[in-house]
Amino acid sequence: MNINQINKAADNLRILEAAMVEKAKSGHPGGAMGGADFTNLLYAKYLVYDPENPHWFMRDRFFLDPGHMSTMLYGALYFCGKYTIEDLQAFRQWGSVTPGHPEVDIERGIENASGPLGQGHVMAVGAAIAERFFVARFGEVVSHKTFAFISDGGIQEEISQGAGRLAGYLGLNNLIMFYDSNKVQLASMVDATSTEDTAAKYKAWNWNVIEIDGCNPVEIADALENALAEEKRPTIIIGDTVMGKGCVTENGENFEFKCSTHGNPLSKSGASYEKTISNLGGDPENPWVLFPETKELYEARKKELKAIVAERKAKFEKWASENPEKAQELQNYIDGKMPEIDYKAIAHKPNIATRAASADVLAELGDKLGNMIVSSADLANSDKTEGFIKKKGHLFAPRDFSGTFLQAGVAELTMASIMNGIALHGGLQCACGTFFVFSDYMKPAFRMAALMELPVKYVWSHDSFRVGEDGPTHEPVEQEAQLRLMEELKNHSGKNSILVLRPADSAETTIAWKMAMENKDTPTALILTRQNINDIAPKGTDRYEEAKEMEKGGYVVLECDAPDVVLVGNGSDVSLLIGAAKELEGKGVKSRVVSMPSIGLWRNQSAEYKESVIPSGVPVFGKTSGLPSTFATVVGANGMVSGLDHFGESAPAGVLEEKFGFTVEHTVSEILNFLGK
């Protein structure tokens, strides 16, 4: 290894990092300048990818956790030929491919969106799990490494606790994480917030811990070689780095280790931008230069990669020719091809909880799909995700990834971020479950899933105050309304950012799972009951076929000619409305009942379809176990929504229904008052 060449390239990277932020007049140069030595060496010597095919399935993956250090990644990928100088110069500008925090762009080598600290390295844990899953089924011929880069802030985020525990427990020896320990934060030094022994913490979690000078390429290389040889544990390389490495003042005085360089252009930090560029060997008048040493280094790596990739592909082709069935199975997984699932044939007991109906579907998926991972946050027996391994499959265990179910422990956010990493890796279906009220813990992760357009499935049971005795801490009220806001939010492809489904009976639950598995563009949330609910009687002879109308968001489940009122609800509230409609009929009021499991999909329908379901001029009454605002846009300005505007209470579900007005009698009274009768 030519140390002078390596150091020159790292300084080249630092120059570009500083220049990008300076031109944009915003950004975070200091941390990126300190992390440049590791990132440069990783891309110049260790990361294995196919320069000709960015989507090569057996490539190593690099996950950046501190997204504010994006310039470090863009600069290194520029050296790899993934960006142009013009791309770097457009940093943080409208329409550029170099946003302030990275967004997924596999063509350019960006494996994950990052920004909220902590999540990036947990996605890496998910990707590492995915890789081990494939190796367990197809052998070392598909093996590859997962690298992650984390900062002081990411280490502090609580999510790192769950990731560290799980990765160590599982023995993810394919995971290598560099901890950029510069001991400087945005507003203070690290020692103002923490004195913990990070090395001891990760050792306790069964990690291979290596402590080095994080700016010394020889020590970095030795640490990476050690990590690559590790057979039983994930590795964390704790690198002592230098915030703002190379920064100097106008007088040439050292200006490293300063908080001010964290979040300001150098010219606004107290450092001299021009003198710093000169100190690093660049031209302040034209910092947008690729050094000859850098060009030579990365061209040599490109040749090395060509040979490495060719050798690995040859080994794979030999394996494929010897194992054609396995090879085809793998290709089907990569291509996202799934076997036919006869959803209609899935049997349910009558009048069951939708979580139980979900378990029936999951049992079929677990039996038929070989490339699906399901997880639960220590609630598998209650959210019924354990149904996935009812027919076959078992739990992941330390260094045993032959299973299909991940017990995440009580770590909802960690679990959800791991699912994002599994989805980002590719080739797998993934779902995770917990109680609906605890979806709050998962919000940062499913927002990222929505942003990255990842088809993760969320199974959220115990959907209402009918949780009962567990009380208000466990009774979701505002959660559905919050999710419905995400349905209003469009992703960058112009689609609803998430598909939210609250099914009203077992038939709708089956269709909901069908929709979730067919949804390749966004996350899907299934909101399910703990309590049993009555099956909706078919209008004709085939309830399943009728329930398929829910694919339009809302549809009629109880019809009448010339209705006096349209009753709208979802989930367990639909059967309540059907009961109310039957009582109203005896009072001379004709009611149409509409089940609306997805308000987002309903909003996307044509005006003609909406009119056929909810005719204009007919009063609309909504009923929801959550906030009335859930259905506000559906009923319109002249409609009414009855719901909860307060937290729940601890009491049996039947008592709460009486106290909160969720009985047929009370609902009928509400509707009659609404109609002025």
CATH code at position 491: 3.40.50.970
Residue 586: what pLDDT? Answer: 93
- SS3 for 604? helix
Residue 637: is its pLDDT beyond 80? yes
Q: What is the mean pLDDT of residues 21-32?
A: 96
CA angle 669, 673, 677 (to 5 degrees): 100
Q: To which H or E segment does residue 641 belong?
A: strand 640-642
Q: Is residue 539 part of a domain?
A: no
What is residue 187's predicted lDDT score, i.e. its pLDDT? 64
pLDDT at residue 188 greater than cutoff 90: no
User: Quick check: pTM over 0.95?
Assistant: yes
pLDDT for residue 78: 98
Inside any domain, residue 538: no
| Whether 190 and 83 share a structural domain | yes
Do 592 and 519 belong to one domain?
Answer: no
- The answer on 162 and 78 residing in a single domain is yes
Q: How many structural domains compose the chain? A: 4
Which of 304, 323, 356 is a domain's end point?
304
C-beta of residue 503 within 8 angstroms of C-beta of residue 525: no
Two tokens, residue 571: 């989930």
Residues 604 and 465 in one domain: no
Diameter over CA atoms, the chain: 91
- Say whether both 403 and 502 belong to one domain: yes
CB of 401 closer than 8 Å to CB of 428 = no
Same domain flag for 143 and 272: yes
In this structure, the answer to whether residues 142 and 73 fall within a common structural domain is yes
Catalytic residue set: 412
Instruction: Please say if the pLDDT value at position 184 is more than 80.
Output: no
- Residues 506 and 620 both lie in one domain: no
Q: What is the pLDDT of residue 191?
A: 74
The β-bridge relationship of strands 499-501 and 429-435 is unpaired
Any domain includes 393: yes
Round the average pLDDT of the chain to a whole number and report it. Answer: 96
**Does residue 497 register a pLDDT over 80?**
yes
Same domain as 643, residue 625: yes
Residue 94: which residues within 8 A CB-CB, separation 6 or more?
none
Which tens digit of pLDDT belongs to each residue from 248-259? 999 999 999 898
Is the model's pLDDT at 291 over the cut of 80? yes
Res. 52 pLDDT band, cuts 50 70 90: very high
| CA-to-CA dists, residue 259 to 190, 242, 331, angstroms | 10, 11, 49
Residues 194 and 220 sit within 8 Å (Cβ to Cβ): no
pLDDT for residue 3: 96
For residue 191, the number of C-alpha atoms closer than 13 Å in the C-beta half-sphere is 1
Which pLDDT value is given to residue 206? 98
User: Taking the CB of residue 315, how many other CB atoms lie within 10 A of it?
Assistant: 13
| Structural domain boundaries enclosing 259 | 3-304
Query: Mean pLDDT, to the nearest integer, of 511-537?
Result: 97
pLDDT at 603 over 80: yes
What confidence tier does 510 reach under pLDDT thresholds 50, 70, 90?
very high
Cα dihedral sign, 324-325-327-332: positive
123 domain residue, yes or no: yes
* Residue 669 confidence (pLDDT): 97
| pLDDT-based confidence at residue 186 (cuts at 50, 70, 90) | low
Q: Is residue 541 part of a domain?
A: no
CA distance 300 to 129: 32
Q: Return d(Cα 267, Cα 261) in angstroms, integer.
A: 9
Are 373 and 447 contained in the same domain?
Answer: yes
Residue 105 resides in a domain = yes
In angstroms, the CA 165 to CA 151 distance is 18
118 — pLDDT class (breaks 50, 70, 90): very high
Q: What is the mean pLDDT of residues 131-152?
A: 97
- Let me know if residue 144 belongs to a domain: yes
Residue 507 and residue 560 in one domain: no
* 317/337 Cα distance (integer angstroms): 21
Residue 58 three-state SS: coil
Residue with tokens 């036919």: 340
CATH number of the domain bearing residue 590: 3.40.50.920
Residues 383-440 pLDDT 10s = 999 999 999 999 999 999 999 999 999 999 999 999 999 999 999 999 999 999 999 9
Q: Is residue 537 part of a domain?
A: no
Q: Are residues 145 and 251 in the same domain?
A: yes
